[in-house]
């Protein structure tokens, strides 16, 4: 991935797709997304920007089990950046993410996407990383429960 804005466009489009097997209860937190930034040990202490979609999958496991819970899965696009002068401060911001949003697909999700984008852009180091070229990127899909 070499263009963060293009990645955001693809991610926003993906977030508007309904996923089978996700808890269909209106108002649930079964399908959400978040933007995260900072410096992480698992990325060799490099600066990162991550777009994440989290899904609570209900079509798995024994629903008769009194302790049954849906499985939480996350799809992450993680982009790492070199230490450039414009990016200094990304890891020292008071917030390191936008918080999860769980709006349903359609117009409410589009509004939540616009809000989360604006939240990220209000921080100068996040704006800077948004137009920087990632040194590397990776896509992962894993169970986080």
Helices 107-121, 4-15: crossing angle, 10 deg rounding: 150
pLDDT in the model for residue 63: 73
pLDDT in the model for residue 38: 87
pLDDT in the model for residue 101: 93
Per-residue pLDDT for the chain (145 aa), expressed as one digit of tens each?
Answer: 899 999 999 999 999 999 888 876 766 778 999 999 988 777 777 899 999 999 988 877 777 888 877 888 999 999 999 888 778 788 887 778 899 999 999 999 999 999 999 988 888 889 999 999 999 999 999 998 7
Residue with tokens 């852009």: 121
Contacts of 61 (CB under 8 A, 6+ apart): 68, 69, 71
pTM above 0.75, yes or no: yes
pLDDT in the model for residue 50: 95
* Domain locations in the chain as residue ranges: 4-143
pLDDT in the model for residue 91: 80
CA angle 21, 23, 27 (to 5 degrees): 150
pLDDT in the model for residue 84: 82
Contacts of 10 (CB under 8 A, 6+ apart): none
């Amino acid at each position: 991935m070499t263009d963060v804005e293009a990645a955001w466009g693809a991610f926003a489009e993906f977030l508007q797709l309904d996923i089978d097997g996700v808890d269909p209860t209106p108002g649930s937190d079964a399908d959400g997304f978040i933007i995260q930034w900072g410096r992480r040990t698992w990325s060799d202490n490099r600066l990162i920007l991550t777009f994440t979609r989290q899904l609570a999958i209900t079509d798995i496991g024994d629903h008769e089990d009194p302790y049954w819970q849906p499985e939480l899965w996350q799809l992450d696009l993680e982009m790492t950046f070199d230490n450039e002068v414009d990016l200094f401060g990304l890891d020292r911001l008071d917030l390191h993410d936008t918080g999860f949003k769980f709006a349903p697909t359609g117009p409410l999700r589009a509004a939540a996407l616009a809000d989360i984008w604006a939240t990220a852009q209000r921080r100068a180091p996040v704006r800077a990383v948004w137009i920087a070229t990632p040194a590397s990127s990776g896509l992962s899909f894993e169970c986080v429960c």
